[in-house]
Amino acid sequence: MDKFSHTILYADDTNIIAASTNYNDWQKKKEVNLTLQFIFEWFKINKLVLNKNKTFGINFSFAETPTHTLNIILYNQNLSLIKLIKFLGIHLDSNLSWKLHIQK
């Protein structure tokens, strides 16, 4: 991958974890989109399919309302952004609190 992201593969799930300390620089370079395009091409070469109906983005932030929105492109469309996700049995929200996991 590259210096700002890595993947987690588990069974038939692929997760891309990307982080940056400078949002503006990160968005300007379109590194998330380049990484997603790289993975899409790898899937295609290996005869795998990225299901756009099960592919989402989540913007983790300690701020109650993130000051920046993500603009991630997949199949020439903006990727749907969600606020809650289940990751390897752990329920996470975009603020990385334990509230949702404890409730479940």
Tokens found for residue 32: 């998330």
pLDDT tens by residue, 21-56: 777 766 666 777 888 888 888 889 999 888 888 888
Handedness of CA 32, 37, 38, 43 (dihedral sign): positive
Res. 1: pLDDT tops 60: no
How many independent structural domains does the chain possess? 1
Compare 62 and 65 and report the one with higher pLDDT. Answer: 62
pLDDT tens by residue, 69-82: 777 887 788 888 88
The whole-angstrom separation of Cα 79 and Cα 97 is 23
Contact in structure between 27 and 43 (CB atoms under 8 Å): no
Continuous segment of H or E residues that includes residue 87: strand 84-87
Question: What pTM was computed for the model?
Answer: 0.72
- Which domain covers residue 44, as residue numbers? 5-103
